[in-house]
Amino acid sequence: MVSTTSNLKSDISLLAHLMRRAGFGASRKDLEEILPLGYEKNVEILLTPQNNEPVDKFKFLRYYPMWWKPGTMGGAGQATWVWTMVNSNSPLQEKLCVFYHNIFATGVAKVDHYDEIEDMIEMFREKGLGNYKDILMSVAKSPAMIYWLDQNENHATAVNENWGRELLELFTMGVGNYTETDVREASRAFTGWTLEHKLPRFHMGRWDWEFKFVPEDHDYSEKEFLGHKGNFDGEEIVDIILSKRSTAEFIARHLYSFFVADEPQVPAWSVTPPKDPKAIKFLADSLLESDYHMETVLRKLFNSDFFKSQLFERVKNPTEVVVGTLRLVGNPELPTPEIMEQASQIAYMGQDLLNPPSVEGWHNGIEWINSGTLMKRTNFVSELISDTSRPGVVDLLERLKKVDANAASLVDESLNLLGPLEVSEITRTELINHVESLGSFDWSNNSGLQRTIELFQLIVATKEYQFC
């Protein structure tokens, strides 16, 4: 393959963009390894996690056996997942878990049972690239969701609308596409869908839950839902919902705002048009044509021009900040106690995984940033990028030793190796000024190393570094 230097760079930039969005970013070393395969082949690798070696759960559990079933133990549930995200060979599979977790936001604040929410994440891991209907039906039967939205309190004689409403408002159609009657009728169709304990709840502790359908608690009478009449049950309601274009458009906006570019928050979608209506139409068409097959739709998304043109148009969410940084600097081969603290950092930055603030999930984009979280993001990355015992940091330093020791080259090459990142001319000038003010970079007496690290710390503190 013949390629000019500038073409090679832009290939690397685009591949880095793909890996940031479809995963948690990649180090320069990793990018160089996969670059020869080409962009499209790398998309295919991301879309076929079954071909990759899965994370060895037992490697982790040998160190933390009590985290197998964390129950109500705060922190352990997140740490297991974060460990998996950091070490996965199938980053899109894990990224999709975050995507679905943000839509089907279910939290331990109410469920009070990490195992159940972890089971839901495992379901996303297995089915995330499959059919949206499959995922939706699994969510409807997930004990965590049933408990979270009081579906176990939805009875033939006393309808509880919590699940029925959120199914329409947040999981499929969005406000404005259904009436209060539809909420009621959908809720009736799900009566009798409840949970039970696999073993008696008391007095031996907290046992796993499982889905249970109680026919005598199901309302079998006629329902009228979105213009259809019949003795619908939950699955038929889901079929009707998925037949509506508004559902495809709503899911398209979820995909766009998570993978392509920041959009206003979900509650604004009923009153704010999409940033790129053509992209939404394309994704909605793809969803309907493929019968909501997520692998098919994501293949089209990642290969689309609108995706390839939106570099650095999303503010990193806290999971991307923490997992991305850990993958960049290189993680220890075996789990260490620090994984617990690193997982907590995601929560400190405003994204308490497995414990979203509400069923709406987290507000994304610029709303991740406030003076408190910006401080935490900057401090976390700065601490790791200055840790010279990390293999990823060592690799970056070795590469920089070979660069001309003038300020502009050092800054440009550091930005290139850390991304490639795009920064404003003003930021670049300030970085160069800083490097110049430090004096010479002499690698023989440690000043080169110290000053390069200082430059890294300043780069990760820039505004531009908050985007991905």
The residues binding another protein (CB under 8 A) are 109-110, 149-150, 152-153, 155, 158, 160-162, 165, 169, 175, 267-268, 271-272, 315, 347-350, 352, 357-360, 363, 366-367, 369-375, 378-379, 382-383, 386, 424, 426-427, 430-431, 433-434, 437, 454, 457-458, 461-463, 466
Q: Which is nearer to another protein, 45 or 374 (CB)?
A: 374
First-to-last CA distance in the chain? Answer: 29
Nearest approach, Cβ of 327 to another protein (angstroms)? 20
Min. distance of Cβ 382 from another protein in angstroms?
6
How far apart CA 89 and CA 92 sit, in angstroms, is: 9
Residue 421 vs 458, nearer CB to another protein: 458
Q: In this complex, which beta carbon is closest to another protein, that of residue 52 or of residue 379?
A: 379
Which residues, other chains included, contact 164 with Cβ-Cβ below 8 Å and sequence gap of 6+? 154, 183, 184, 186, 187, 188, 189, 190
Please identify, using beta-carbon distances, which residue of 48 and 160 lies nearer to another protein: 160
Residue 123 beta carbon to another protein: minimum distance, rounded to whole angstroms: 23
* Cβ 186 to another protein shortest distance, Å: 15
| Comparison of 137 and 347: residue with beta carbon closer to another protein | 347
Helix (H) or strand (E) holding 468: none
Please give the Cα distance from 301 to 280 (Å, whole number): 10
Q: Select from 77, 47, 45, 55 the least CA-distant residue to 64.
A: 77
d(CA 327, CA 87): 8
Least distance CB 162 / another protein (angstroms) = 5
SS3 140: helix
- Which CB sits closer to another protein, 290 or 450? 450
Exposed (0-12), middle (13-18) or buried (19+): which is 202, by Cβ within 10 Å? exposed
Closer by beta carbon to another protein, 175 or else 449: 175
Give the separation between CA 379 and CA 345, rounded to whole angstroms. 10
The smaller minimum CB distance to another protein, of residues 11 and 430, is found at 430
- Residue 432 Cβ, how far from another protein at the closest point, in Å? 11
As measured in angstroms, the least distance from the Cβ of 427 to another protein is 6
Least separation in angstroms between residue 462's CB and another protein is: 6
d(CA 45, CA 161): 42
CA distances from 272 to 217, 253, 266, 268 (A): 40, 11, 10, 6
- The tokens for 165 are 């409403």
Min dist CB 434 to another protein, Å, is 5
Q: Kindly tell me which of 169 and 182 has the beta carbon lying closer to another protein.
A: 169
Per the structure block, which two tokens stand in for 346?
A: 């995601």
Q: What share of the chain is helix, strand, coil (3-state, %, to 5)?
A: 60, 5, 35
Distance of CA 289 to the CA centre of its chain: 25
If the CB atoms of residues 129 and 453 are measured against another protein, the closer one turns out to be: 453
Q: Which residues contact 384 (CB under 8 A, 6 or more apart)?
A: 325, 326, 329, 390, 393
Q: Answer whether 322's CB lies under 8 Å from 342's CB.
A: yes
CB 280, min distance to another protein, A: 19
Q: In the complex with another protein, which residue's Cβ is closer, 167 or 359? A: 359
Considering the complex, what minimum distance in angstroms separates the CB of residue 125 from another protein?
26
- Cβ count near 134 (within 10 Å): 15
The CA-CA-CA angle for residues 393, 396, 397, to 5°, reads 85
